[in-house]
Structure 1
Amino acid sequence: MDRAADFSLSTSAQGSQLTLSGDWTAAHMAGADARLADAAKDAAATGVSIDLKGVHRLDTAGAYAVLRALGEDFDLAQVSARPENLRLLELVRAARTAKATPPPEPHSLHQLTIRIGKAVVDMAREATETMVFLGHLLVVVVRAVFNPGRIRLPALVSLMERAGFDALPIVATTSFFIGAVVGLLGANMLRQFGAEVFAVELIGIAVTREFNIIITAVLLAGRSASAFAAEIGSMKMQQEIDAMQVMGVDPYEALVFPRFAALLLTIPLLTFVATVAGLFGGLVVTWSVLGLGPAFFFQRIVDNVGVTHFWVALSKAPVMAMVIAGIGCRQGLEVGGDVESLGRRVTAAVVHAIFAIIVIDAAFALVYMELDV
């Protein structure tokens, strides 16, 4: 039941007393705060105390009105109130007397220098930690090569299914549409020169050399690198990795290596599926738009494109897999103890993996261009 805020003033030999009643909330004060301020000002000369035991409800607006009426120097020891109302009064008074947050300092050359210095130090620290991660991972890989019995086959097979085989539908679908788009653009552009038939070579080279591995790697970066970072980061937050180390289990051997090997083994298959799907997408477009049948399409692919471009793309696959798995696991191991850190690291895993894919593909392109492959 709502009750309007009200008060009464009584005077005795000990001084004046204000007795509040009703709901002293923002919705029910209706001018009672101003009348309370006037009454407290008139009674201040004889000394005033306040009784809040009759207050039904009190919020921060009501507490602020009471404190404003009593003044900054009023002793809360003279307030009779329930414990929860007294705590609210103390909280509001502390907020009123708190110092205002100073405005941010204007940007200066000195601050810019500090930020650049911190960024350089952070980059050096990140590079050092990355080298430590790679060194530890290399030790685990060499140990597994010379002692295959240490490989956790159930975890490896499970991760191959989740990180690799489950990605087949999305890789095939995306590659199909990429091949179709390349075919459509090539047919429209080459039609101006009466060379529509060369759209087949354009599709073959673009799909078998670049788009198959790029699309596969980017999808794995968004799908698997983020999953690796989230899984390992969640275990880090719950101190499961610390528990593994206490029990003598190497987290790199139990968590990082199976994910590393799973992507390394499955990415060639995904690249092959992406190649077939991309060529099929280009075939659908050339057949429907240019009227070039499947036999003619594949004959030109065999005669003029060949298998060299596919092997070029496949040579990039292991490097892409190692980079994607390494970045995902590395970011997961760097997660702190809060959810915000987990979110930052998962985002960093995807961004860093995609950036690394583009840089690696450009490096391969330069190398193969110099080798005339």
Structure 2
Amino acid sequence: MQDAVQFRLENADGDAAANGNRLVLSGQLTLAGIAPVEKELRRLDGPIRVIDLAEVDDIDTVGAWVVCRLAREHNSDISGANDAADRLLDSVRGIDGGGDIRPPRPPAWERVPIAIGEKIYGARSGIYGVVGFFGQIILGAASLLRHPTRFPVKALVHQMELVGVSALPIIGLMSFLIGIVIAQQGSVQLEQFGAEALTVNLVGRITLRELGVLMTAIMVAGRSGSAFAAQLGTMKLTEEIDAMRTIGISPIEVLVIPRIMAATFMMLLLGFYASIVAIVGGAVVGDLTLGIPFWTFLDRIHDVVPQHDLWVGLIKAPVFGLIVGLAGCYHGLQVRDNSEEVGRRTTMAVVSAIFAVIVLDAFFAVFFTEIGWG
């Protein structure tokens, strides 16, 4: 019994001929046997009138389908098949593998609205999830208020260290450079009007009111928000959170609330710290390039920056921290199935937190202008 399919071409008298009109197959007409010669069978282009299966030892569905395809392509008759081969040939004879395997693609004017509608409809589950998560936090906070001895103080202090103290170097460096850039670029533009002295006003107001808090929130989202999502996502994937629920420990109380409180509280301090360091950076530029002494620059800040600018930054900072903490913890707890989901949810946590922070910053800008703190 042969392992692979053998084939030859014969003429009408049964003699071998390269351009004969009779194709004789022999051996194992199965998936394993036909695979080595399938390409050669495709290249046969002579006028094949008959496909002879008398010498075939065994045949399966794949072999029968190849024979039927050859017969269809060359308009050939099939002869010599035994009863089992006849049944397989009858089963696959009507199968045509030449159809389009891809569904029809609707036009763009129809496809785009459908995709947008599906996204909007799919966002419903996300809204339900966020509302439910916020409700769990409220219930967890209420439970801790009723039982203050259960409050995870050590976890809160640890998270405050990670979110706040460990972030001081990078946020300080970033804020110092931002202050330098604002002072340098602002002075170049103000010099055209002979108003270089107003660089103090520019640096003080824009850092205390906007950029100090906003850039800090973006840095905290990328640094701590992503860490929250990755940590909780990994714990969810390794079933540590399920184990905590099994032994009666609330993950919301032990894991989520300390992280959110740490982000909220430390964002207040980090935002103020970033604003002060940015002003120092502006004062360095003023001393080196504008002829404004360092201490004079800082003293002028007190005179030219309204007090409500400081309050605007201090009000926005904890709100931004709350948003970053919520986004990181929510997406971390949504991890399912595999480790790839951890990376995807971490990315979503950072993107959604930054987006929400910028939207809220725009809202605050309009709100404070309307109440006279513009």
User: Equivalences for 1:86-165 in 2 at 5 Å?
Assistant: 100-107=100-107, 114-165=114-165
2:19 counterpart residue number: none
Alignment of 1:44-123 (within 5 A): 44-45=51-52, 47-49=54-56, 72=69, 100-107=100-107, 114-123=114-123
Structure 2 length-normalised TM:
0.75
Aligned to 1:322: 322
In structure 2, C-alpha distance between the alignment counterparts of 1:281 and 1:244, rounded to whole Å: 47
1:236–1:333 CA contact under 8 A, matched in 2 = yes
Compute the displacement of 1:171 (Å).
0.9
Contact 2:5 2:27 in 1 (8 A): no
Separation (CA, whole Å) in 1 of partners of 2:361 and 2:39: 73
Q: Assess if the C-alpha contact under 8 Å between 2:229 and 2:331 holds in 1.
A: yes
CA contact (8 A) 1:16 1:43 kept: no
Cα 1:228/1:18, change in 2 over 3 Å: same
Q: Which deviates more from structure 2 when the two are superposed, residues 349-358 or residues 99-108?
A: 99-108
User: Which residue in the other structure is 1:362 paired with?
Assistant: 362
Runs (5+) with no aligned partner, structure 2: 9-23, 72-77, 85-95
Q: How does 1:1-373 map to 2 (within 5 A)?
A: 17=26, 33=40, 44-45=51-52, 47-49=54-56, 72=69, 100-107=100-107, 114-305=114-305, 307-373=307-373
What amino acid does structure 2 have at the position aligned with 1:314?
L
Moved more, 184-193 or 142-151: 142-151
> What is the CA distance between 1:149 and its match in structure 2?
1.7
Q: Distance in 2 between matches of 1:248 and 1:97?
A: 58
- The change in CA–CA distance for 1:202 and 1:35 in structure 2 (over 3 A counts) is closer
Taking only aligned residues, the RMSD between alpha carbons, in angstroms, comes to 4.0
- Counterpart code for 1:283: A
1:50 offset after TM fit, Å? 7.0
Distance 2:138 2:39 in 1: 75
Match of 2:87 in 1: none
With over 3 angstroms needed to count, the CA separation of the structure-2 counterparts of 1:210 and 1:364, relative to structure 1, is same
Residue aligning to 1:12: none
CA distance in 2, matches of 1:50, 1:42: 22
Q: Distance in 1 between matches of 2:118 and 2:42?
A: 57
Deviations 1:253-293 (A, max 9, x none): 12111111111222122113212220121112111111211
**Whole-Å separation in 1 of the counterparts to 2:232 and 2:136:** 16
Q: Secondary structure at the match of 1:193?
A: coil
d(CA) in 2 for partners of 1:362, 1:16: 77
2: CA distance, partners of 1:358 / 1:249: 35
Deviation at 1:111, TM superposition (A): 5.4
Q: Encode CA deviations 1:203-226: one digit per residue, 9 max, x unaligned.
A: 111111111110110111111212
Tell me: CA distance 1:288–1:48, structure 2 relative to 1, closer, same or farther (3 Å).
farther
Tell me the distance in 1 between the aligned counterparts of 2:352 and 2:42: 64
Q: CA deviation at 1:104?
A: 3.4
Shift of 1:357: 0.7
3-state DSSP class of the match of 2:164? helix
Structure 2 CA distance for partners of 1:219 and 1:6, relative to 1, 3 Å:
same
Note closer, same or farther for the CA distance 1:138–1:69 as it changes in structure 2 (3 Å cut). Answer: closer
The alpha-carbon deviation at position 133 of structure 1 amounts to: 1.2
Task: Describe the superposition over 1:51-85 as per-residue Cα deviations: whole angstroms up to 9, x where unpaired.
Answer: 9xxxxxxxxxxxx9x9998665999xx9xxxxxxx
Identity level (%):
36
| AA in 2 matched with 1:47 | A
Q: What is the CA-CA distance between 1:6 and the residue it aligns to?
A: 12
SS in 1 for 2:101: coil
Q: 1:99 to 1:254 in 2, by over 3 A?
A: farther
Q: Which deviates more, 359-368 or 200-209?
A: 359-368
Q: Is the 8 A contact 1:236 1:337 kept in 2?
A: no
TM (norm. structure 1) is 0.75
Query: Within 2, Cα distance between the matches of 1:319 and 1:120?
Result: 26
CA 1:284–1:106 in 2, change beyond 3 Å: closer, same or farther? same
Is the 8 Å Cα contact of residues 26 and 53 (structure 2) preserved in structure 1?
A: no
1:93 aligned partner:
none
Matched AA of 1:304: V
